[in-house]
Amino acid sequence: MIRDASHIEEFQAGSILVTGMTDPDWVPIMKMAAGIITDQGGRTSHAAIVSRELGVPAIVGTGTATEDLKDFDQITLSCAEGDKGYIYEGALEYEEEEINVDKLPETKTQVMLNIASPSAAFQWWRLPCKGIGLARMEFIINEIIKIHPMALTHFEEVEDLDEQMHISEMTLGYEKKTDYFVELLALGLAKIACTRYPDPVIVRMSDFKTNEYANLIGGKQFEPKEENPMLGFRGAVRYYHPKYREGFALECQAIKQARESIGLDNILVMIPFCRTTKEAEDVLKVMEEEGLKRGENGLEVYMMAEVPSNILLAEDFAKLFDGFSIGSNDLTQLTLGVDRDSGDLAPLFDERNPAVKKLIENLIEIAHQNGCKVGVCGQAPSDYPDFAEFLVHCGIDSISLNPDSVIHTIEKIAAIEKQRG
């Protein structure tokens, strides 16, 4: 039982972490946990996303776990009984199922993986997937690099002397401090991409919220304080804005190095949270200035379809990008007006709502009419087999899944495709 991140050193490896909620500061002990239980958070909260990435069972949004459980209680945490988690008293027996992946059926729909860290990519490389539909660079930046890119480009302006000294120590041996960011990010992305070569690996450019960027070393000085970071200075707007333009340039350099110097040219780029076509044009212009021109050296550029405007103006966006990847989490949040991190609103957050499904159906139809591919990399198809079925019936080109749901979803998709003939 740990209520505050300042006490994480008290955590005993191999036990179950029980806390109110988590943020990036908690990741080191989340890696050591046998399981995670939180009072707050929904299916797309930090604890839920990170635990999936780590392959650690987690139950979020219990409301009262920190009150009902006590240190050294012996319990069984079960995430194997549908879309709800259960906590039982005592250590219960369980069964393990072994599956031969070579005997899984082939699917017309391209099944891909959601991956955030190189270690996860190496852990799950045996899964029979056709690439990675969502490679998140945030985990590499947060867990390996740890320094805000603007604190590297403007090192002399870092006001906190302790942070300045820390940055100096971490970047020792690099010709330029920015090389530290570029080289570590390029290497991390290359490690992810090599596990699936030559299949495509779609790398989403950084999509931290301002409060998450602020947690990086030197970050607070370069990030505005926002009332609602989820709807604030995030995604595409950062990439061409003076407050982060130089940081985005480092991300582009890392992509270029991974693709051209290291040779992982199966890396494609994806732009998140792009609100308008003008934003899309501005981002593509900046990328071109940094040596990443769409169409050159086989570079494809996708966009996340997660803002309703992306679907309403899909025909216009299709002229600027090679494809769409539906981010069902944000699309649901913005369509239904439901905070995806709210435990209280969790019953209302449902990607299967008719309004969300209608938007997705429209996008697939319009994109295909304009020669664009459409995939999905949100949480929904991993959680709900019926949602995966809906996507296949709509003719989606690819479905990117969390590793733990790949096997059963492949079987489900194959059965649906067989029924459809």
Write out the catalytic residue numbers: 46, 377
Q: Please, what's the b/e burial string for 255-294 (b: 16 or more CB within 10 A of its CB; e: otherwise)?
A: bbbbbeebebebbbbbbbbbebeebbebbbebbeebbbee
Length of the chain measured in residues: 421
**How far is 64 from 402, CA to CA, in rounded Å?**
28
The CA angle 245-145-248, to the nearest 5 degrees, is 15
Per DSSP, 10 falls in state G
Q: Are 218 and 180 in contact (CB under 8 A)?
A: no
Position of tokens 């072994």? 98
**What residues form DSSP beta bridges with 267?**
201
Between CA 382 and CA 377 the distance in angstroms is 9
Instruction: List Cα–Cα distances, 133 to 23, 31, 86, 111, 336, in angstroms.
Output: 24, 24, 31, 8, 25
- The beta strand positions in 127-218, using DSSP E, are 132-136, 201-204
Q: DSSP for 207-259, please give it.
A: ---HHHHHTSBT-GGGS---S-GGGSS-THHHHHSTTTHHHHHHHHHHHHIII
Select from 367, 288, 360, 369 the least CA-distant residue to 326.
Answer: 360
> Which of 54, 45, 340 minimizes the C-alpha distance to 212?
45
- 10 Å CB burial of residue 349 (0-12, 13-18, 19+) is buried
* Residue that has been written with the tokens 């996303």 in this structure: 49
Helices (H), strands (E): how many in the chain? 19, 13
- Among 253, 254, 304, smallest CA distance to 279 is for 304
DSSP classification of residue 103: G
